[in-house]
Amino acid sequence: MRDYFPIDHLPDRTIRVEGEEYLFFSGTSYLGLGRNPTFLALLAEGQQQYGGVFGSSRNGNLRLCIYEEAEAELARFTGAPAALTLSSGMMAGQAVVNWLKSSGLEFVYGPSAHPAIWQSPTVRLPQLSFDEWTTRLPSVLRAAPTRQVVVAVNSLDAVQSVTYPFDWVRDLPAEKEITLLVDDSHGLGVIGPGGTGIRSLIPQQPNVRLIVTASLAKAMGMPGGAIFADEATLNAIRHTAFFGACSPLPPAYLYAFNRARAIYQAAFQRLQQNIQQFEAAIEPLKEFQHIPAYPVFYTPQDDLYPFLLTKRILIYSFAYPAPTDKPNTRLVINALHEPEDLTYLAQCLHEQKLSQFR
């Protein structure tokens, strides 16, 4: 079985491999914006006005207003006080981490925290369940040598589709000044009210400064990243050398985003309908780990991948995040899938289940 499938086109609900069509249940384009014709028409308008890229520092003496306009819209969408965009989710996370490191703050990491919010390539993450980690966290923070501490976590586990409740934030020690850094790359556009992300689901505490980072290249359909925080924090990050040296994301995408509120709403509703249909169709199987209303369905049964290939279905199954990690097998639903796609996939899953008992 081949290690990967080379193709010469962007995936839709299907892909073509050597002239053969496969249903595509992988990737992270949860809302399908990369293939949404209305969004692509707005993007074409934006390219006519702004071209392909803006090859300049955001802190230069010539500035495009579209960035501040889109950041205000992103802040409104998520309910954050303010937003700041960068060229990728990785750059957004590292811009925050580098700024926090410059203050000498102690970092405490949650299980499976995304590499975008690592201090170095060799961060040791706790080998605990999220619930076990949050139970121990208050004592860990009290033992920290500094009064100011950074707690860095993901908004959820997208690899194995496990939700992370944030009620534990209320129990953080009041004597510490805590920066809660949350990577919401796989949540923004998909979780929270109307897909607005994790921010509204995190309790606010007077001693906790919340900073949320996210890739915009997943559900949001833009090649960039964003930081969501209070204006003073973002102003400080903006004036670092790290941010000043970053190239910005292409402005044409922000032009499209500013005009796409109805497109995002419709895609989110379509995605939810698709998830509900698939949840109902596979409920008897009990084979998948899955956050309700979330588009990722994880299974430890890696043999599902070659079986579905025989049915012309390509799913997610490869080692992540490092090539040495165990393969991760999951099904990913998106807003582009048609009801018949989901019905056929469910039928194949039931067939595979029955074949195990023959």
pLDDT at 104: 85
The pLDDT confidence band at residue 321, using thresholds 50, 70 and 90, is: low
Look at phi and psi of residue 192 and say left if phi exceeds 0, alpha if psi is from -120 to 50, else beta: left
Mean pLDDT, the chain, integer: 94
Architecture category of domain 54-249 in CATH: 3-Layer(aba) Sandwich (3.40)
Statement: residue 43 has pLDDT above 70:
yes
Instruction: Encode the chain in three state secondary structure.
Output: CCCCCCCCCCCCCEEEECCEEEEEECCCCCCCHHHCHHHHHHHHHHHHHHCCCCCCCCCCCCCCHHHHHHHHHHHHHHCCCEEEEECCHHHHHHHHHHHHHCCCCEEEECCCCCHHHCCCCCCCCCCCCHHHHHHHHHHHHHCCCCCEEEEEEECEECCCCEECCCHHHHHCCCCCEEEEEEECCCCCCCCCHHHCCCHHHCCCCCCEEEEEEEECCCCCCCCCEEEEECHHHHHHHHCCHHHHCCCCCCHHHHHHHHCCHHHHHHHHHHHHHHHHHHHHHHHHHCCCEECCCCCEEEECCCCHHHHHHCCCEEEEEEECCCCCCCEEEEEECCCCCCHHHHHHHHHHHHHHHHHCCC
Q: Which of 222, 179, 214 is nearest to 196 (CA)?
A: 214
Of 113-127, 257-271, 341-355, the range with the highest mean pLDDT is 257-271
Instruction: Delimit the domains of the chain by residue range.
Output: 14-35+262-355, 54-249
pTM recorded for the entire structure: 0.95
One-letter amino acid at 301 equals: Q
The pLDDT confidence band at residue 354, using thresholds 50, 70 and 90, is: low
Query: What value, to the nearest 5°, has the Cα angle with vertex 161 and ends 1 and 151?
Result: 120
The pLDDT confidence band at residue 67, using thresholds 50, 70 and 90, is: very high
On whether the CB atoms of residues 262 and 294 are closer than 8 A, the answer is no
Statement: residue 90 has pLDDT above 70:
yes
Does the domain at 14-35+262-355 match CATH 3.40.1710.10? Answer given as: no
Paired residues of 140 in beta bridges = none
Statement: residue 358 has pLDDT above 50:
no
Structure tokens at 333: 């639903």
Of 150-154, 282-286, 322-326, the range with the highest mean pLDDT is 150-154
Residues 166-176: what's their mean pLDDT? 97
Residues 94-114: what's their mean pLDDT? 94
pLDDT at 51: 96
d(CA 226, CA 93): 8
Structure tokens at 189: 């556009």
Statement: residue 355 has pLDDT above 70:
no
* pLDDT tens sequence across 201-235: 999 999 999 999 999 999 999 999 999 999 999 99
Residues 41-45: what's their mean pLDDT? 98
Residues 291-313: what's their mean pLDDT? 94
Residues 6+ apart with CB under 8 A from 163: 156, 157, 291, 294
